[in-house]
Amino acid sequence: MHVSTSEIAQLAAQGLPPPVLQVDRVSLQYRSATAVVQATHEVSFDVHPADRFVLLGPSGCGKSSLLKSVAGFLPPAAGEIRLDGQVVQQPGPDRIVVFQEFDQLPPWKTVLQNVMFPLLASRTLGKRDAAERARHYLDKVGLARFADAYPHTLSGGMKARVAIARALAMQPKMLLMDEPFAALDALTRRKMQEELLALWDEVRFTLLFVTHSIEEALVVGNRILLLSPHPGRVRAEINSHQYDLSSLGGAGFQQTAQRIHRLLFDESDQSGAPRTAEPIINFSDVRFSY
Amino acid sequence: MAQTPPIRDEYEIPLTPLPGLVLQRQFSLPQRIWQQGWVRKGAILLLLALVWEGVARWQNNDLLLPTFLQTAQAFIDGIGSGELFGKTWLSLQVLLKAYVLGIVAAFVLTTLAVSTQFGRDLLGTLTSMFNPLPAIALLPIALLWFGLGQGSLIFVLVHSVLWALAVNTYAGFLGVSDTLRMAGRNYGLRGLGFVLQVLVPAALPSILAGLRIGWAFAWRTLIAAELVFGATSGKGGLGWYIFQNRNELYTDKVFAGLAMVILIGLLVENLVFNTLERVTVKKWGMQR
């Protein structure tokens, strides 16, 4: 489902603001030692300002590759990625990535220096202004007390918070998160999702979020792009703005989760047996994070 | 026959404060003293000195093996007359010059190697050619090219520092995680800025190891070179001091010279490199 120019005109007519990010029929390829692997095939989607846009799909659907491509690390084999109408060609500080790995924080910098790092490296701010802004965002993620600590003394959740503060401090056009909470324990992950939503409520950043958990997608996102595996193709776009952490386990939430599950794994809906007869929660809905 | 676990009563315990419970206990004084690395190492040195003194007294031949006390006396005399210090200073000057040159050359080579294919091939080929070549084996050629003087010494010393450091630094650069690299590039760093702000600090454990090895190689090569061809332009260093005193059968002075070599090694290792490690990689949690 491509958004053609006429459709964009139509969207504009509906009073939609122009999208921040346009991914236009992007095909991505990986070069392994022996072969070229097709990661995605003609994927298109638009991200609008203040969207919490989630890329969701099973492993091998190319969602992480798409995010890397938006970040500028992986040039598309075909198609275009446009940020504010400009074609993305290389990594830049207008799209800050929050990675999953804990080693994304340079261990030789304190928490404060870590948050200041992109501001200084990209020459966005001088030293004093950078420190001021860094403290502001550290305060927002609740780590003001740890400004002078080194990353190796922090817990996983705190490291994730530093990475988020670092990304927010740049005030980028887009925040790109590649399964940022996947390496955290379940309780911390839930707390981080809550905090991320609270931060979004306050700052209203534009977020592109990659996850493999249906539950996380529904909670974190306001719109979800479903990708099919091998190669990644767009299966559907679904609204999830009505759900947050308090809707976990609710009937509507469960229904949407089941619908996503069906779409992702291509189980046919016309199985004949009345679905309502099933219990609302069954084992296929419980998604474990690997 | 399926077993079902018994159903038990639930319970809750309100938590009360714990007065008088010590959550943290200090080590005792002897334990704390023994925790200090220099105390333990000092004890080892003391033990070695005692063994030396014992063996030398039992052997009872000053010409072959002077006792620890005789060596200490010769050492103190050498320091007192300023001769030992002068010779050491001469050696150290040459050493430092060559060491710095070697570091700069290694940095240029490895930076080239991480940024271009040609640099990679160049570094790979050169290190596999020259790393196994003992620096001292280049001395005859160096003497031919640069004459009897500091020039030829510096040449062989740079050779001994450069390859060890370059190999270690490059290996360290290769070991920097993709995530850190991507983070650096994400913030718009490239070229020299990327190398200095991301690769060098991230590879610092390997670089420090390379600096250590390079220092030891250079120090060894210097003493050996001085032993082989002695004075540089009329002023001999520590190796020359050892060589001369052996010729004159002042064995205690030979030992004093050797002790100086060892002492400087210990000082540099403990004061310079360990301090460097403590304020960088250990503080950052990159090395235990």
Q: What is the pLDDT of residues A213-267, one digit of tens each?
A: 888 888 898 899 988 888 888 888 888 888 877 878 788 888 888 888 888 887 6
A150/B285 touch (CB, cutoff 8 Å), yes or no: yes
Q: Give the SS3 label for residue B40.
A: helix
Among B209-213, B222-226, B274-278, the minimum mean pLDDT is found in B222-226
- For residue B113, being part of any structural domain is answered with yes
Task: Note the pTM of the prediction, 2 decimals.
Answer: 0.80
- For residue B50, being part of any structural domain is answered with no
* Per-residue tokens: A267: 């189980």
Overall domain count for chain B: 1
Residues of chain B with C-beta less than 8 angstroms from the C-beta of A121? 184, 187-189, 193, 197
Work out the average pLDDT over A16-31: 85
Q: What per-residue confidence (pLDDT) applies to A272?
A: 42
CB A125 within 8 A of CB A119: yes
Query: Of B179, B187, B282, which to mutate for an interface test with A (greatest number of A Cβ within 10 Å)?
Result: B187
Q: What per-residue confidence (pLDDT) applies to A273?
A: 43
Q: Degrees (nearest 5) of the Cα angle B18, B21, B27?
A: 155
Q: What per-residue confidence (pLDDT) applies to B167?
A: 92
- For residue B105, being part of any structural domain is answered with yes
- For residue B211, being part of any structural domain is answered with yes
What's the longest Cα–Cα distance across chain A? 67
- For residue B152, being part of any structural domain is answered with yes
Residue B262 confidence (pLDDT) above 50: yes
Q: What per-residue confidence (pLDDT) applies to A276?
A: 46
Residues of chain B with C-beta less than 8 angstroms from the C-beta of A68? 182
Q: Degrees (nearest 5) of the Cα angle B127, B128, B134?
A: 80
* Per-residue tokens: B115: 């940024």
Counted across chains A and B, CB pairs separated by less than 8 A come out at 66
- For residue B28, being part of any structural domain is answered with no
For all residues of chain A together, what is the average pLDDT?
Answer: 83
B183/A97 touch (CB, cutoff 8 Å), yes or no: yes
Say which residues have a Cβ less than 8 Å from residue B65's Cβ, sequence separation at least 6.
B55, B56, B59, B251
Task: Give the DSSP H or E segment for A168.
Answer: helix A156-169
Q: What per-residue confidence (pLDDT) applies to B97?
A: 93
Residue A127 confidence (pLDDT) above 70: yes
DSSP code at position A283: G
Task: Give the DSSP H or E segment for B236.
Answer: none
- Higher confidence at residue B188 or residue B232? B188
Cα–Cα dist A101/A93, whole Å: 19
What's the longest Cα–Cα distance across chain B? 98
CA A98 to chain centre: 9
Residue B172: give its domain's CATH number.
1.10.3720.10
B186/A91 touch (CB, cutoff 8 Å), yes or no: yes
Q: Which domain holds residue B252?
A: 63-282
Report the side by side order of strands in the sheet with A233-239: A95-98, A174-178, A207-211, A52-56, A223-228, A233-239
Q: What ipTM did this prediction achieve?
A: 0.79
Residues in chain A: 290
Work out the average pLDDT over B255-277: 89
Any idea which architecture A5-94+172-285 has in CATH? 3-Layer(aba) Sandwich (3.40)
Provide the shortest C-alpha distance from residue B260 to chain A (in Å): 36
- For residue B30, being part of any structural domain is answered with no
